[in-house]
Amino acid sequence: MKRTAKLQARFDSAFANYLKLTAALREDLAAMLSQEASSLHWRRNFVRASAALLEGHAHCLTQMCVVGVAIDPTSFSAKERKAIANPDGLSANERLKLTLRVAYKLFQLHPVPQFGGAAWRNAQRVMPKRNRLMHPKTPRDLGIANDTWRQLKKGIVWLMQQFFDFLSLAQARYGT
């Protein structure tokens, strides 16, 4: 009984944090989008802000999923359990992908994101580019050519849609 109460309290805290953090990150991104520009510095900042939003969502979902995986670990693959319990050694892309898969499974939400197509391939470019923008070694690291920008933007939009769909699907399934 105590374990269940502790797990419920942990989940409730993680969910409250999720709502607060994602609201703040969405607000930041909305402010950026209200001043959208085609300049290189705007593109760089958009990639950085988007990556922060995506990682914030993923972190919060991970904290909720820790509880679900603890309750029923057999519903998840070994790789999914590792991504939730100890994501060290996984790339940012793997963490995002596996966290989404676990969250959708845990909350029994459909449709589950599909990671086999062009949208996911574009999305996989976002985190490495963010890393180069945050830790540049050469001026080239700071560049975003038009073709690259189109692919990055498509990837960012697709990933955001997967995370935003999680929240709307969970709300539709479980209420307010």
Torsion of CA 45, 23, 55, 57, to 10 degrees: -150
Phi-psi label, residue 94: left if phi above 0, alpha if psi -120 to 50, beta otherwise: alpha
* pLDDT tens figures, 19-55: 888 888 888 888 888 888 889 999 999 999 999 999 9
Whether residue 29 contacts residue 56, with contact meaning beta carbons closer than 8 Å, is answered with: no
Q: Domain coordinates of the chain in residue numbers?
A: 2-174
Cα separation, 176 vs 173, whole angstroms: 9
Of residues 126, 158, 150, 167, the one with CA closest to residue 23? 167
Please give the model's pTM, rounded to 2 decimal places.
0.87
* pLDDT tens figures, 148-174: 999 999 999 999 999 999 988 988 998
Cα separation, 158 vs 141, whole angstroms: 23
User: Dihedral sign, CA of 31, 36, 40, 43?
Assistant: positive
Phi-psi label, residue 108: left if phi above 0, alpha if psi -120 to 50, beta otherwise: left
pLDDT band at 135 (very low <50, low <70, confident <90, very high): very high
Of residues 15, 50, 6, the one with CA closest to residue 29? 50
